[in-house]
Structure 1
């Protein structure tokens, strides 16, 4: 195998323990596609070829957390003459796997289309976003709905996608005063990100629309419509279409 193109060539990976049953691997700094690609490729590799004791891995913007069962690791390696902790064993396994990961491997992305009713009671901050950029509300809707967004991670609330790729033309700071309650399905903007609130929760994002789709699916495995690595497109719909989808 040509090791000259493995992931460690471009960005050194830093590993650190998280409690006694997880390791965090940091691949870089900042919300960048090149970092996301490394995280996604390594996550896919671990899920396709799990090591004994592997439980799951959770991606974030710059790192991947790998959870493992220390008892399983200990029982497998207890006959070893070396006094090695489960953390050290897993760290060694992960280092070997990183060497087998080629950086020019293509990453596949599932595309998910999300219908959105923009403005009015569904997007109470749409006019503020338009004023902030000296645009019309229709222009904001057009820019937002013609973009393609990468789900870098799922977090904050169950099923909440942090979506990168927002045009700088409509990037808007968070509200100075967060709302105590935001309805499930609300579509918002915060800085260079956009996202969808999967459940009713407090929040400070600029709300420009709402989707009738459910993103948090507690009775489904996994319980989230979107996963890290998905590509998201927003489709404008009318209020009537919103009510029909919601009612259906």
Structure 2
């Protein structure tokens, strides 16, 4: 949808028949301005694996097209931000925002090339509770279940890595079992230890470095997830299936890796 058509229905992506390696966007899309140098493409209203795959397919497609003035294409949970430098246009051709919005609309209407997920199952060791997960008991209380059940539900099935957000190398994955539905903490911590495994709003995350944070800490992994000296610096990849594996404090100490 063009930026000027904000009140019209979202484009359904049916203008052209995609080839076998392309996909239509199931829920259509909405393009709207976010300031004077960014367009935001909305691709869904929920966070799940299918929407996340669409987000990254659209990001890869637009990044490969060398659109005039575009300097960055940034994926999030349900949106793609297209950052651009306004470029002069011939008189009567509309604004840079309208021109770029129309170009993106045409590309999405053609169908978006499919991309394969990483296909990796990554088993991540986690020591739950105590000093490693100080919010485990509170989460159990909020959910009306035992701490053992929280751990069982958190480790029962792999979670899909949707995106990196907040700080370099911070993975956000889901969906969590609906029985683990808790909000962020009312009062954030000023210091969260590196490797802390946290949950909130149906998603699980891991703090790769010590930082402030407001999520519920239920455990900690001894792994280092982000190392700027490595290529790539992130240990995990978009689309990974993250399988949390419970370990003991003794095992945690044996597996502890240095954090930057």
TM-score range, shorter chain: 0.7 to 0.9
The residue number in structure 2 matching 1:14 is: 30
Distance 1:114 1:158 in 2: 19
Alpha-carbon distance change, 29 to 92 in structure 1, aligned in 2, over 3 angstroms: same
Structure 1, residues 191-246: CA drift from partner, whole Å, max 9, x if none? 32211112222222221110122233334465444454433221222323322332
SS of 1:240's equivalent in the other structure is helix
Structure 1, residues 92-148: CA drift from partner, whole Å, max 9, x if none? 321121022259x46424433322121221111222323444444333222211222
SS of 1:42's equivalent in the other structure is helix
Q: Say if 1:6 and 1:98, in contact at 8 Å, map to a contact too.
A: no
1:135-154 to 2 correspondences below 5 Å: 135-154=145-164
Greater Cα shift, 200-209 or 47-56: 47-56
Mapped pair 1:44 → 2:56: no
Mapped pair 1:108 → 2:117: yes
TM-score, normalization by structure 1: 0.80
Mapped pair 1:205 → 2:215: yes
1:1-248 to 2 correspondences below 5 Å: 2-3=17-18, 7=24, 10-51=26-67, 53-70=69-86, 74=88, 83-101=93-111, 105=114, 107-111=116-120, 112-220=122-230, 223-247=233-257
Query: Which structure 2 residue ranges, 5 or more long, are not aligned?
Result: 1-15
Query: Which structure 1 residue ranges, 5 or more long, are not aligned?
Result: none
Report the Cα offset of residue 187 of structure 1: 0.5
Alpha-carbon distance change, 213 to 54 in structure 1, aligned in 2, over 3 angstroms: farther
- Number of aligned residue pairs: 240
Report the Cα offset of residue 49 of structure 1: 4.2
Q: Whose helix proportion is higher, 1 or 2?
A: 1
Distance 1:239 1:100 in 2: 53
Alpha-carbon distance change, 70 to 245 in structure 1, aligned in 2, over 3 angstroms: farther
TM-score, normalization by structure 2: 0.76
